[in-house]
Amino acid sequence: MKKYLVILPWVALLLTGCATIYERTSLSGSAPKSPYPALRTDLRYITFHCDPESLCGGWNGYRKIRIDERVLAVVFATLDIPISIFTDTFFLGLDLSTAKQAKAESDKDANPE
């Protein structure tokens, strides 16, 4: 039992940082378009899993999310918030320049002359 009490916090620590990895790699499908993208992802994830009416989709259709899944998701997203704040602050200059470029491209597409 003591072995699990030692291993569990390390596993929880290793599983955090997911939003940072997701937002800063090709997994999200696009470059960050605003400052603090990983923190926004964590907060959106927590909000989604705290909503009792939210549905989870899979190959066999949609279903309500079980309470144990909700608790684990909120706990890990909450543990991820400090890591997301640190890495998002570290990459703030890059995010601001990327957001500025994305805004310029969208303005260019919206007003072709």
Q: pLDDT tens digits, residue range 48-69?
A: 888 888 777 766 677 788 888 8
Name the DSSP letter for residue 27: G
Least confident of 7-21, 30-44, 69-83: 7-21
Quickly state the pLDDT bin for 27 (edges 50, 70, 90).
low
The alpha-helical segments, DSSP class H, found in the chain are 2-15, 18-24, 37-50, 67-90, 92-110
Q: Rounded mean pLDDT of 92-97?
A: 86
Question: H or E stretch including 57?
Answer: strand 55-58
**Separation CA 68–CA 65 (nearest Å):** 8
Of the candidates 43, 44, 51, the residue with the CA atom closest to the CA atom of residue 70: 51
Of the candidates 92, 82, 100, 94, the residue with the CA atom closest to the CA atom of residue 39: 82
pTM over 0.75? The answer is no
Q: Rounded mean pLDDT of 70-79?
A: 86
